[in-house]
Chain A
Amino acid sequence: QVQLVQSGAEVKKPGASVKVSCKASGYTFNSYFIHWVRQAPGQGLEWMGIINPSGGGTTYAQKFQGRVAMTRDTSTSTVYMELSGLRSEDTAVYYCARPRISVSVTSSFDYWGQGTLVTVSS
């Protein structure tokens, strides 16, 4: 069965960077994009960007341009999301999500990781 397993909770100081991992299993890793979505405490869902595991191509939300980097390691079927220049407003649960349809950016997010809480505090 399809599974996305994320790394554990992180506590970071303002200005630091965080790298969250998302290990995929149960399907052909290269065939499906991975999206990253975050949710601040008590707030709604916010799309951050997308990575194509096949070639590594990425598209980021304008809000995060210059601060986010999404990468992948095909040997371990893992994608990573690194966010730099952390501030208190980046405190959130970060999710990776896989679409229903392979190589489709518009497809619904059918599978989600369990979420990773990133806390930014001095």
Chain B
Amino acid sequence: QSVLTQPPSASGTPGQRVTISCSGSRSNIGSNTVNWYQQLPGTAPKLLIYNNNQRPSGVPDRFSGSKSGTSASLAISGLQSEDEADYYCAAWDDSLNGRGVFGGGTKLTVL
């Protein structure tokens, strides 16, 4: 059971906009910034969004993040076939002497 809650799956057609939600609590999302990772099959996760809504260099502006209270979301606009991957939200949790926590992951399918 993951500390952060994500839908297990999402889908969209090319060109569409999809959003993935991430729900937490006061001790994690409510107190710290949210990061999003993209993982393609057989590869290490790649940072997609940091500090709730910042994109690392090289990440297309089709990807955007937001946070409100104890929830966050990742939006992908202009969906492309290469966006088909697993997406994970993550944050630091201030409970239990501090720990990293992840969502269970959302598998995005481009139809």
Question: B-contacting residues of A (Cβ < 8 Å)?
Answer: 35, 37, 44-47, 50, 59, 61-62, 95, 100, 105-110, 112-115
Interfacial chain B residues near A112, Cβ < 8 Å: 44-46
**Shortest Cβ distance from residue A116 to the other chain B in the assembled complex, whole angstroms:** 11
Provide the bound-state CA to CA distance between A34 and B66, in Å: 26
Given contacts A45-B45, A108-B51, 13 further A-B contacts (CB under 8 A): A37-B100, A44-B104, A45-B37, A45-B88, A45-B90, A59-B98, A59-B99, A61-B100, A95-B44, A108-B33, A108-B90, A109-B35, A109-B45
Q: Which of B88, B97, B102 contacts A59 (CB 8 A)?
A: B97
**Shortest Cβ distance from residue B74 to the other chain A in the assembled complex, whole angstroms:** 13
CB contacts between A and B, total, < 8 Å: 59
**Shortest Cβ distance from residue A112 to the other chain B in the assembled complex, whole angstroms:** 4
Contact indicator B45/A106 (Cβ below 8 Å)? no
B68 sits at the interface (CB 8 A): no
Contact indicator B44/A61 (Cβ below 8 Å)? no
B103 sits at the interface (CB 8 A): yes
Contact indicator A108/B103 (Cβ below 8 Å)? no
Provide the bound-state CA to CA distance between A105 and B2, in Å: 20
Question: A-contacting residues of B (Cβ < 8 Å)?
Answer: 2, 32-33, 35, 37, 44-47, 50-51, 56, 88, 90-92, 96-105
Interfacial chain B residues near A106, Cβ < 8 Å: 32-33, 91-92
Which interface residue of B37, B98, B100, B101 has the most chain A CB atoms within 10 A?
Answer: B100
Provide the bound-state CA to CA distance between A62 and B100, in Å: 11
A selection of 22 A-B contacts at a CB cut-off of 8 Å is A44-B2, A44-B103, A45-B37, A45-B45, A45-B102, A45-B105, A47-B101, A47-B102, A50-B100, A59-B98, A59-B99, A62-B99, A95-B44, A95-B45, A100-B47, A106-B32, A106-B33, A107-B50, A108-B33, A109-B35, A109-B37, A110-B56
Interfacial chain B residues near A115, Cβ < 8 Å: 44
Interfacial chain A residues near B102, Cβ < 8 Å: 37, 44-47
Q: Which of B45, B51, B56, B96 contacts A62 (CB 8 A)?
A: B96
Provide the bound-state CA to CA distance between A45 and B45, in Å: 9
Q: Which of A46, A62, A110 contacts B47 (CB 8 A)?
A: A110
